């Protein structure tokens, strides 16, 4: 009885159990709320993508027309660059190699590089640039393009640009040049780059990274040449895309597609500049990130060169001229072989060739004198390598011609038996061509 009277249950056991159950319920409720939020966010993303695609399809023509208009307005003037007093076109590859290496080091977007080159050329079209400031203008153009296109954490700092230029310029010079470029261009930075037109051209096609990387590789090669500075970005993008499809053996789009309306002259001009690309650009596009398109291009050019060499070394195939049979009319027709001659089992022996030897000629003369003293008519003991019938027997019938040939051959054999020095064997590879 005392035991039951003094027994008191411990309240902590039941409290802890209730607390653990409530904690699990609370965690499950929070997990469900997070899951619902995630699903709602995914639905919003899907709806936003659908609305964006619908809007882009409706406004695609308007966007393209605006890009084409801006492309014409922001085009550099090559003739103005030609009259620069200090900077020359041979300096351009050195500056572009530096800007491409800086662009790759900072991992900037492809459009940033093309925009920076456009700003550089537009500034050089309007201002006199000294040779010692040429690199500074390029760095300022790259800085402006990065601020306009890329994320804030990717934009290079003035200290980093100064370090890449080996402290050739002070910090204030970068700031002043940046402001001067913007003021010269009227703060008009926007320019539809070639990669923007390239993305528009492949919008309706299946994603093919190798084709896009090859087109970008061709477009970066075009940056180094004066002939493409004044070309519209839309023309360059379409021509480079068509050329990359040819190199990679991809099908071309239909004629109704916008990308199929490329300029053939621009395509040919681009193809002529692919043989000697910049080392920096070739090394950049040899990486797996760009599908190693520079190696693919090198193999393609080597294969084309070998095919061209083989075509030059191989003689053209001449079409044989079919000879018509002779019908008996007098003219310039060549007499053909008769069927009776071809029916002979072994044909006629090849007549021996007269050796070119003075002693043999002297022996021929002695034999002729000996024949005359004996009353035997003189016979010509030698024959030409390719004896031909005389003019009066050129158009005789086959039987008479065969009989005369047999008589001539028997006379030659009888004469040669009296002169042991003359060869009586058939020469290797010699054929009888007289009338046969």
SS (H, E, C) the chain: CHHHHHCCCCHHHHHHHHHHHHHHHHHHHHHHHHHHHHHHHHHHHHHHHHHHHHHHHHHHHHHHHHHHHHHHHCCCCHHHHHCCCCCCHHHHHHHHHHHHHHHHHCCCCHHHHHHHHHHHHHHHHHCCCCHHHHHHHHHHHHHHHHHHHCCHHHCCCHHHHHHHCCCCCCHHHHHHHHHHHHHHCCCCCCCCCHHHHHHHHCCCCCCCHHHHHHHHHHHHHHCCCHHHCCCCHHHHHHHHHHHHHHHCCCCCCCCCCHHHCCCHHHHHHHHCCCCCCCHHHHHHCCCHHHCCHHHHHHHHHHHHHHHHHHHHHCCCCCCCCCCCCCCCCCCCCCCCCCHHHHCCCCCCCCCCCCCCCHHHHHHHHHHHHHHHHHCCCCCCCCCCCCCCCCCCCCCCCHHHHHHHHHHHHHHHHHHHHCCCCCCCCCCCCCCCCCCC
| pLDDT at site 310 | 74
pLDDT of residue 218: 92
Domain-located, residue 395: no
Residues 95 and 202 both lie in one domain: no
Domain end residue (candidates: 283, 309, 335): 309
| Region for 107 from its dihedrals, namely left if φ exceeds 0, alpha if ψ lies in -120 to 50, beta otherwise | left
In this prediction, residue 103 carries a pLDDT of: 93
Query: Do 151 and 202 have their domain in common?
Result: no
> At 142, which CATH number?
1.10.472.10
Helix (H, G, I), strand (E, B) or coil at 278: coil
Please report whether residue 100 resides in a domain: yes
Q: Does 224 lie in the same domain as 120?
A: no
* % of the chain exceeding 90 in pLDDT: 25
What is the number of alpha carbons within 13 Å of residue 371 lying toward its C-beta? 17
In a domain, 290, yes or no: yes
Q: At what angle do helices 209-222 and 264-271 cross, to 10 degrees?
A: 80
Same domain membership, residue 210 and residue 301: yes
96 and 176 housed in the same domain: yes
In a domain, 83, yes or no: yes
Q: Does 286 share its domain with 207? A: yes
Q: What is the pLDDT of residue 304?
A: 84
The per-residue pLDDT for 57 is: 66
What domain count does the chain have?
Answer: 2
- Check the CA dihedral 119-124-130-132 and report its sign: positive
Residues 250 and 227 in one domain: yes
Picking from 274, 309, 344, the residue at the C-terminal end of a domain is 309
pTM for the structure as a whole: 0.60
> What domain range is 237 assigned to?
194-309
Where does a domain end: 254, 275, 309? 309
For the chain, which residues score pLDDT lower than 50? 1, 13-14, 16, 321, 323-324, 326, 328-361, 363-364, 371, 374, 376-397, 419-436
- As a whole number of angstroms, the distance between CA 341 and CA 398 comes to 9
91 lies in the same domain as 163:
yes
**353 is a domain residue:** no
Residues 221 and 289 in one domain: yes
Eight-state DSSP code of residue 378: P
The CA-to-CA distance between both ends of the chain, in Å, stands at 149
Query: Is residue 204 domain-shared with residue 154, that is, in the same domain?
Result: no
CA distances from 167 to 29, 161, 182 (A): 60, 9, 23
Q: Is residue 105 within 8 Å of 184, Cβ to Cβ?
A: no
Closest CA to 434 of 397, 408, 415: 408
Q: Are residues 219 and 276 in the same domain?
A: yes
Instruction: With respect to residue 374, please indicate whether it lies within any of the assigned structural domains.
Output: no
Establish if 227 belongs to a structural domain.
yes
Whether 279 maps to a domain, the answer reads: yes
Same domain? 219 vs 166: no
Query: Which residue bears the tokens 């072989």?
Result: 337
d(CA 222, CA 227): 8
């Amino acid at each position: 009885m005392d035991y039951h009277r003094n027994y008191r249950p411990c309240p902590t056991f039941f409290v802890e159990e209730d607390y653990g159950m409530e904690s699990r319920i609370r965690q499950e409720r929070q997990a469900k709320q997070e899951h619902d939020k995630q699903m709602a966010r995914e639905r919003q993303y899907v709806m936003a993508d659908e609305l964006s695609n619908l809007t882009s399809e409706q406004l695609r023509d308007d966007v393209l027309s605006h890009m084409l208009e801006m492309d014409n307005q922001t085009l550099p003037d090559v003739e103005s660059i030609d009259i620069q007093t200090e900077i020359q076109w041979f300096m351009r590859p050195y500056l572009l190699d530096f800007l491409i290496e800086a662009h790759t080091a900072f991992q900037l977007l492809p459009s940033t590089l093309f925009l920076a080159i456009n700003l550089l050329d537009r500034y050089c079209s309007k201002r006199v640039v000294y040779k010692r400031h040429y690199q500074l203008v390029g760095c300022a153009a790259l800085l402006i393009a990065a601020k306009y296109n890329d994320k804030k954490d990717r934009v290079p700092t003035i200290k980093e640009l100064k370090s890449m230029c080996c402290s050739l310029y002070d910090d204030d010079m970068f700031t002043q040049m940046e402001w001067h470029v913007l003021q010269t261009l009227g703060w008009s930075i926007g320019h539809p780059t070639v990669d923007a037109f390239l993305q528009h051209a492949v919008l309706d096609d299946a994603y093919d990274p190798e084709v896009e990387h090859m087109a970008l590789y061709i477009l970066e090669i075009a940056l180094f040449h004066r002939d493409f500075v004044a070309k519209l970005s839309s023309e360059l993008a379409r021509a480079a895309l068509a050329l990359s499809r040819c190199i990679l053996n991809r099908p071309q789009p239909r004629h109704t597609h916008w990308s199929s309306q490329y300029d053939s002259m621009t395509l040919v001009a681009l193809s002529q500049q692919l043989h000697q690309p910049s080392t920096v650009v070739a090394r950049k596009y040899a990486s797996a990130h760009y599908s190693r398109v520079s190696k693919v291009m090198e193999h393609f050019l080597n294969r084309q060169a070998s095919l061209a060499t083989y075509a030059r070394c191989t003689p053209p195939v001449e079409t044989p001229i079919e000879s018509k049979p002779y019908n008996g009319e007098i003219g310039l027709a060549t007499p053909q072989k008769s069927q009776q001659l071809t029916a002979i089992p072994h044909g006629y022996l090849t007549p021996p060739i007269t050796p070119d030897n003075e002693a043999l000629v002297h022996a021929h003369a002695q034999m002729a004198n000996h024949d005359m003293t004996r009353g035997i008519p003189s016979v010509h003991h030698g024959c030409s390598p390719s004896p031909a019938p005389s003019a009066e027997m050129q158009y005789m019938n086959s039987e008479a011609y065969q009989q005369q040939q047999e008589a001539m051959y028997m006379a030659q054999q009888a004469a040669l038996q009296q002169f042991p020095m003359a060869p009586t064997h058939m020469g290797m590879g010699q054929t009888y061509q007289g009338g046969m």
